[in-house]
Structure 1
Amino acid sequence: MTSTPVFRPAVEADLEAIVAMLADDILGQQRENTSLPLAQSYLEAFAAIEADPNQYLAVVELNGAVVGTLQITYMPGLSHQGAWRGEIESVRIASSARGSGLGRLMIQWAVEQCRQRQCRIVQLTSDRARTDAHRFYEQLGFTASHKGFKLTL
């Protein structure tokens, strides 16, 4: 990586780049709508995330361009003696920046954000089809400790 990545909170002007990254794979192509103007649902979701102090939607810039995104949700819980958890979601890197080590920096940055919020657990989920991502997360010290379930409504 030739320049220093800049991590910052996302702003509404970043939404087009974020949605484009979410759509830039086989799973995202089926779920996301990149047509402009963006659907109102994206704007409403962004507003809800921005208003919630337990949400952090981040972007990563290189040379002034948004090339990465992720979301951290901070969750209080009673288990583990009242431990807070950080849940990392929607980790995406623009195709132009893949393979540069940016993903590793992003996850390390997100884990540090969780440490600063006194989280004792950092967790994430990854679609079963993303086997390369699973190896990547395991290399970073994450373990596949649970089996997850979802119900689409």
Structure 2
Amino acid sequence: MTREATPLPGVPGVGVTEAIAADVPAIVALLANDILGRDRESGVSDLYDEAFAAIDADPTEHLLVLLDEQESVVGTLQLGFVRSLSRGGALRAQIEAVRVSETLRGQGVGRALFTFVIEQARQEGAVLVQLTSDLQRDGAIRFYESLGFVHSHAGLKLALG
């Protein structure tokens, strides 16, 4: 790889690195390639580029991509950090928008990616890692539970547009 990427242990030929602007179309394609994303991700919008620029400029946010040996984007997730007064002023890690290419699912790629980001969160001083998953994503929820995540809170959302 000519782009610097950290190899994922146990996953030959796949590395993880911070996304660059040129990755945005591939990231959006991954987000669109599921039951929910099909209807909400158009792939054609300047808003994606604006969102990337804001994420990239924010030191508390990390948009990560998985690259294969051809430097194609084959996975993504966003890792953010939120400081809170609760838990004694604790730092929380928030994982969003997790996707792994269909061709790599079931091969340990997601597990290796989560091992990597959980360790990053630990090194940053986070006291917990949290994420949400749409209830329609049964497989994703089972996967997160297999990693040790537990249903400890009810997640509620209010669409504003």
TM-score normalized with structure 1 length = 0.94
Query: How big is the alpha-carbon RMSD for the aligned residues of Structure 1 and Structure 2?
Result: 1.1
Tell me by how many angstroms 1:2 deviates: 6.1
Percent identity reads 48
Structure 1 consecutive aligned stretches of length 4 or more whose deviation exceeds 4 Å: none
Q: Give 3-state SS (helix, strand or coil) of 1:119's partner.
A: coil
Structure 2: how far apart are the matches of 1:7 and 1:145? 29
Q: Give 3-state SS (helix, strand or coil) of 1:59's partner.
A: strand
Q: Give 3-state SS (helix, strand or coil) of 2:127's partner.
A: strand
Cα deviations across residues 52-103 of structure 1 (Å, max 9, x unaligned)? Answer: 0010000011112210000011000011111100000000011221221111
Residues 1:15 and 2:24 aligned together:
yes
Unaligned runs of 5+ in 1: none
Residues 1:117 and 2:117 aligned together:
no
Q: 1:152 is matched with which residue: 133, 146, 159?
A: 159
Report the counterpart of residue 47 of structure 1 in structure 2.
53
TM-score normalized with structure 2 length = 0.90
Report the counterpart of residue 65 of structure 2 in structure 1.
59
Q: 1:25 is matched with which residue: 10, 14, 34?
A: 34
Report the counterpart of residue 132 of structure 1 in structure 2.
139
Q: 1:5 is matched with which residue: 9, 14, 22?
A: 14
Q: Give 3-state SS (helix, strand or coil) of 1:147's partner.
A: coil
Tell me by how many angstroms 1:4 deviates: 3.5
Structure 2: how far apart are the matches of 1:2 and 1:120? 27
Structure 1: how far apart are the matches of 2:105 and 2:52? 25
Structure 2: how far apart are the matches of 1:114 and 1:73? 9
Aligned length: 150
Q: Give 3-state SS (helix, strand or coil) of 1:150's partner.
A: coil
Q: Give 3-state SS (helix, strand or coil) of 1:129's partner.
A: coil
Report the counterpart of residue 98 of structure 1 in structure 2.
105
Structure 2: how far apart are the matches of 1:131 and 1:2? 24
Structure 2: how far apart are the matches of 1:2 and 1:23? 24
Unaligned runs of 5+ in 2: 1-9
Q: Give 3-state SS (helix, strand or coil) of 1:26's partner.
A: coil
